[in-house]
Structure 1
């Protein structure tokens, strides 16, 4: 019985770490794409 809650908390820890990693990855990718869109819009304005 002692090993069951330990494995449960361990899996929860891994899931939380994975969620944090995925959120960080998505946030960095979206920020990078947002920067690209900003520069693209600026170049469009300068071209027009």
Structure 2
């Protein structure tokens, strides 16, 4: 058993969240909508 399972879970959740954000940005870049700009802060 890892010494700090909660830290591992937190890191895993953060990775999942980051992956979802990347997917969203990628989708937005692939399907540009008029008037919607993707800021570099989101990347």
Instruction: Please indicate the TM-score interval, normalised by the length of the shorter structure.
Output: 0.5 to 0.7
Larger RCO (alpha carbons 8 Å, 6+ apart): 2
Q: Distance in 2 between matches of 1:27 and 1:8?
A: 29
What root-mean-square deviation, in Å, do the aligned CA atoms of Structure 1 and Structure 2 show? 2.1
Structure 2 partner of 1:41 = none
TM-score normalised by length of structure 1: 0.60
Which structure shows the bigger proportion of residues in helix conformation? Answer: 1
- In the alignment, structure 1 segments of 5+ residues that lack a partner are 36-48
TM-score by length of 2: 0.66
